[in-house]
Structure 1
Amino acid sequence: MAKAKEVKPKSVKGEEAEKMIHDYLRRTNRPFSATDISANLKNAVTKQVAQKILEQLRDSGQIHGKSYGKQSVYVCLQDCLEEASSDQLMDLDRQIQTLKGELESVKAEYKVKSTEFQILNNSPSPAEIHQKISTLDKDIEQTKSKLDCLQAGSVKNVTEEEMKETLANHDFVKKGYLQRRKMFYNLWNLITDCLENPKELWDKLGFEKDEIMDVKQN
């Protein structure tokens, strides 16, 4: 079935177009450009015609116009608007109060949702939780395996005498290490005393400094 041909609205000009644009500005009481007005009136007035009429209304003092760069906007003069009745003003006050109540409700809901969002955003993702669970499961399995070995008696406990002997051997080795370390540096300082760049010789010989933790030279 052939698609129905779209019927374009008939464009108006002259006084009819002028009245249509002026009434629209008074009714909306908002600033618009010629392009906005033509689009909002469903192209009943072309952009070119709207621009011309807006300039004429501005020049005649019926509306106010102001340019922003290459674009001009137009708005109806406030003194051209009809004065609102007391009933209309009361109705507007009721609308304002209703909107204020809705605004406070929206603000309160926004605050709650923002707090919930922060909590969720700071919480680990499902992937991170699964990874953490997997790591803990491995730790539990390793700890359980060690515990089973201890309970089965397959691990020999170290006696107090063995512990003392081990510490004594450690102290003996450490003391010998510190003595040899001191002897080396005394000899090194004696040999390199006349050198301008001892570090160059150190690197050339391939020496490495001792980085053992908690070992101090006495």
Structure 2
Amino acid sequence: MSLKKGTEKSTSGDGVLDGRKQNTCLSVQADFEQAIDISANLHNKVTKTYTAKALKELCHNKKVAGKTSGKQTVYHALQEVPDEAIPEAVAAVDKEMELLLQQLTRLKGDQKKVQTESVVFCAKPLLSELHDDINHLAQERETILARLSQNVERGFRHISKEEKSDIHQDWKSWRRHVSLRSRICRDLWQKCSEVMPGNMSRTELWESLGLEGDPLD
């Protein structure tokens, strides 16, 4: 089969190159025999003689690679040289991933800390509830003082040991309540006054909440 010059020759060369890329490695032994597989693979669109010549020319032009050992030549497609920047890019990605993992670990720790503080904070009574309890205790105190005043006006009387014991137990119970509520109120006030809204002072915040007396230290 003869070949025309010009476009047909160029097209045939491209066909041989495409066929070479499809067959990564072909072993050939003679100028005529080495083109058999490629020519057959191209459905005999080019002759075996021209295929052998085209392979040599493609190898000479460094479009394919060839290695000769004795009478045998092995052609294969050129291997792309790895980009030197790829290892640096991979290292940069690995470093960024490591930083992100460290940041994720810190965020998880912060999240756990915030959740713990939230549970502790929610377990404490609200400031409004403490204010109501204080008012309730104040009313009870006024009632007790009124009763005591009435008893004083009526004169002293002998109090039995049982009554003294009951009064003492009540007194101890109320002291525990007052101490506990005072500590809770102080802790809650410290939390509320850690971050002041705007330019508001501790005294202004205390008064804005409707609390009486001086702010807790």
Query: Above 0.5 in TM-score?
Result: no
Q: Answer with 1 or 2: which has the greater Rg.
A: 2
Q: Which has the higher contact order (CA 8 A, sep 6+)?
A: 2
